[in-house]
Structure 1
């Protein structure tokens, strides 16, 4: 139960950062999806908490035509987060976070191409869409890395480390 409250609190705290001034695309969206599915005993509850935090913040920040693609990216990231359920080494977290960032970039920019009339609806337009989005990818990747590091580090400090101390054999 303690893990549930701490993990939920961490997700909500990070989601609130969306209301603070930040560089474009520097957000916790991908991090909460990875984290929620990795640390909650029930991965579906973890993803649901993460998704609800984003939906509520999007309600206040404003809805847009590509939100279904953002939420689909979160769902796909939750599958990646499942890969962290048993092994949360730093290298593994970094690799899966990078994979999630690339996944988010591809899916959401495909959403921009499909839902908005910014680019010609042909292969060249698709290429232009992805090329124009590249400058935003660095902020997205940086945000994913920072927020993922914060979530998993804080979870380790407040949940994993104390549990290990309690279960360690007395000497």
Structure 2
């Protein structure tokens, strides 16, 4: 069981990461994967879900109110992908080391990309924002994944940077401020 200082530090890191979504950044270069994986490691029980979902939901509300981009027709897929990333973090990151965190980040990023770009989840007709959906065929699926590759590149870079930064700050704070090593 983690002590009160560890929980406060972990909460602060999740809050700062979620707030970073509100500043201008390249498309898909966000801390979402880092928040999911770190929360799976840092919190216990139901808090593994409550903390990260609260952070993402509140930042999505702020994005919707300030820029009109917090929610869209794929929001349910995004939140489903987020839940799956938390599950991956729980399964892979038993000990926070470079290998485990890197593997979990790559797996979570790839899973999220595959889920949120799967063309059969989207309508074939014109959507409310004017974008055309992909045909519900293997050609449509391939076209959707192909169109998503530039976004995946930004996402993967952001995921590696944000996840690495969150875990590194947590580790350094534990070592030099709280004088504890990570389990």
TM-score, length of structure 1 as denominator length: 0.88
Among 57, 60, 67, the alignment partner of 1:58 is 60
Higher relative contact order (CA 8 A, sep 6+): 1
Q: Give the superposed CA RMSD.
A: 1.7
State the shift of 1:164 in Å: 2.8
- 1:55-94 alignment, distance < 5 Å: 55-61=57-63, 62-94=70-102
Instruction: Name 1:156's counterpart in structure 2.
Output: 171
Question: How far apart are 1:160 and its partner, in Å?
Answer: 4.8
Q: Is the 8 A contact 1:36 1:43 kept in 2?
A: no
Runs of 5+ in structure 1 lacking a partner? Answer: 166-171
Aligned residue pair count: 163
Counting only pairs closer than 5 Å after superposition, residues 69-148 of structure 1 correspond to structure 2 as 69-110=77-118, 113-117=120-124, 118-148=133-163
Retained in 1: the 8 A contact 2:122–2:134? no
- The residue that corresponds to 2:34 in the other structure is 31
For the 8 Å contact 1:36–1:46, the answer to whether it is kept is yes
CA distance in 2, matches of 1:29, 1:143: 9
**TM-fit CA distance, 1:14:** 0.6
Quick check: 1:43–1:82 contact (8 Å CA) kept in 2?
no
Tell me, which stretches of 5 or more residues in structure 2 are unaligned?
Answer: 64-69, 125-132
- Structure with the higher helix share, 1 or 2: 1
Q: Deviations over 1:77-125 (max 9, x none)?
A: 1111113553211112111100110011011112x64234421121111
